[in-house]
């Protein structure tokens, strides 16, 4: 049946390109409020709560940095414990020279970030499995070299003795504050980077590396930015963990288990999604708090959960939410909304 011309209404599509939505603006304000509340946890929280939250902040950093490297840069590494261990090691080494231990944390992370620059020239020549295995090999090599340092005493390890200059209560609050500040700074920095022109190049590489290079994106230079950022952030995480644990044993800090944790968090939360890394860290933290005392069975359970997610939710929890609801709380790309115009 034909509709009379007098009753027909011309319709055309109107596109609206934007980043922020009402949901994302609300999420941003909620994030600010949550951070403000977290800043006061040491004032009313128990000793155990302060320590556990500091651990959560470290997990968020680790997940966000591995997600930046693999989820956006396509650099799947099984050797990120290299930077975690070096961050702790250089903190011990710098503090032993008489530098305040908390200043040593920042200096150690800066040293690791600088060392990652020349390393990137070799590592970024590799792709896929070659890159992943090469990072693990370099991590093992660094582990052996650290053992040769007389200060470390081989696998016996040492302690961050200079922390004893601070009363236990003060030390705990400062460690918590450093962990929170580092987490917020790294997340904000990563968010700003991904929303910049460089971020557009990063996301183009994630979607299709060959196409991005064809369009003029300097793929290697862009990946180097992510490589160095991940090294710096992971080193801070290792240094903060050392400050909380006080003791440094190379086999613990250079264990591949740390990278396994990172992979688990990102896999469960959602690879290549800003919110996914944070969600995955929170889930991992909850699982560890509830089942960490189960030892080997706890690790087996983590592996089983990761396997199930790989099979049934390959895009992770946040990826599934985003796909079904179109919800993006921390948008790093652009959103195209099509509306009907009469």
Ranges of beta strands (E only) in the chain are: 12-18, 158-159, 247-248, 335-341
Asked if 281 and 243 count as a contact pair (C-beta separation under 8 A), the reply is no
Question: How far apart are alpha carbons 105 and 93 in whole angstroms?
Answer: 10
The pLDDT, as a whole number, for residue 296 is 80
The pLDDT, as a whole number, for residue 8 is 47
The pLDDT, as a whole number, for residue 335 is 58
Question: How far apart are alpha carbons 59 and 74 in whole angstroms?
Answer: 21
Question: How far apart are alpha carbons 321 and 326 in whole angstroms?
Answer: 7
Asked if 15 and 331 count as a contact pair (C-beta separation under 8 A), the reply is no
The pLDDT, as a whole number, for residue 3 is 42
What's the gap between Cα 170 and its chain centre? 27
Domains and CATH numbers, the chain: 11-341 (1.10.3470)
pLDDT tens string 131-183:
999 999 999 999 999 999 999 988 889 999 899 889 999 999 999 999 999 99
pLDDT tens string 214-239:
888 888 999 999 999 999 999 999 99
The pLDDT, as a whole number, for residue 6 is 44
Those residues whose C-beta lies under 8 Å from the C-beta of residue 220, and which sit 6 or more positions away, are: 124
The pLDDT, as a whole number, for residue 298 is 83
What DSSP state is assigned to residue 247? E
The pLDDT, as a whole number, for residue 16 is 53
Mean pLDDT of the chain: 88
Structural Rg of the chain based on CA atoms: 22
For residues 53-87, one letter each, b for 16 or more C-beta atoms within 10 angstroms of the residue's C-beta and e for the rest, the string is bbbbbbbbbbbbbbbbbbbbbbbbbbbbbbbbbbb
Question: How far apart are alpha carbons 311 and 145 in whole angstroms?
Answer: 39
Residues lower than pLDDT 70 in the chain: 1-19, 333-342
């Amino acid at each position: 049946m034909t509709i009379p011309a007098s009753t027909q209404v011309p319709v055309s599509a109107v596109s609206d390109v934007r980043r922020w939505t009402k949901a994302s603006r609300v999420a941003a304000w909620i994030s600010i409020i949550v951070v403000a509340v977290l800043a006061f946890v040491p004032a009313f929280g128990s000793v155990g709560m302060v320590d556990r939250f500091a651990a959560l902040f470290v997990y968020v950093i680790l997940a966000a940095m591995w997600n930046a490297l693999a989820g956006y840069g396509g650099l799947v590494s099984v050797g990120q414990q290299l930077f975690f261990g070096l961050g702790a090691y250089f903190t011990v080494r710098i503090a032993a020279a008489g530098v305040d231990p908390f200043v040593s944390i920042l200096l150690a992370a800066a040293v690791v970030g600088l060392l990652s620059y020349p390393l990137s020239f070799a590592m970024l020549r590799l792709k896929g499995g070659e890159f992943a295995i090469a990072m693990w090999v370099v991590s093992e090599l660094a582990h052996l070299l650290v053992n040769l340092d007389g200060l470390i005493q081989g696998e016996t390890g040492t302690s961050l003795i200079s922390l004893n200059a601070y009363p236990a209560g003060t030390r705990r609050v400062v460690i918590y504050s450093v962990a929170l500040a580092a987490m917020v700074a790294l997340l904000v920095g990563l968010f700003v980077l991904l929303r910049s022109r460089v971020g557009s190049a990063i996301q183009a590489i994630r979607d299709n590396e060959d196409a991005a290079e064809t369009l003029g994106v300097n793929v290697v230079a862009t990946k180097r930015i992510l490589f160095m950022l991940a090294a710096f952030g992971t080193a801070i995480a290792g240094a903060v963990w050392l400050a909380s644990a006080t003791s440094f044993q190379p086999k613990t800090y250079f264990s591949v288990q740390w990278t396994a944790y990172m992979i688990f968090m990102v896999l469960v939360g959602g690879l290549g999604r800003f919110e996914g890394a944070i969600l995955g860290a929170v889930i991992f933290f909850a699982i560890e708090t509830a089942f960490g005392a189960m030892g080997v069975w706890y690790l087996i359970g983590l592996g089983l959960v990761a396997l199930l997610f790989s099979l049934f939710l390959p895009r992770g929890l946040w990826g599934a939410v985003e796909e079904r609801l179109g919800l993006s709380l921390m948008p790093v790309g652009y959103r195209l909304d099509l509306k009907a115009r009469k």
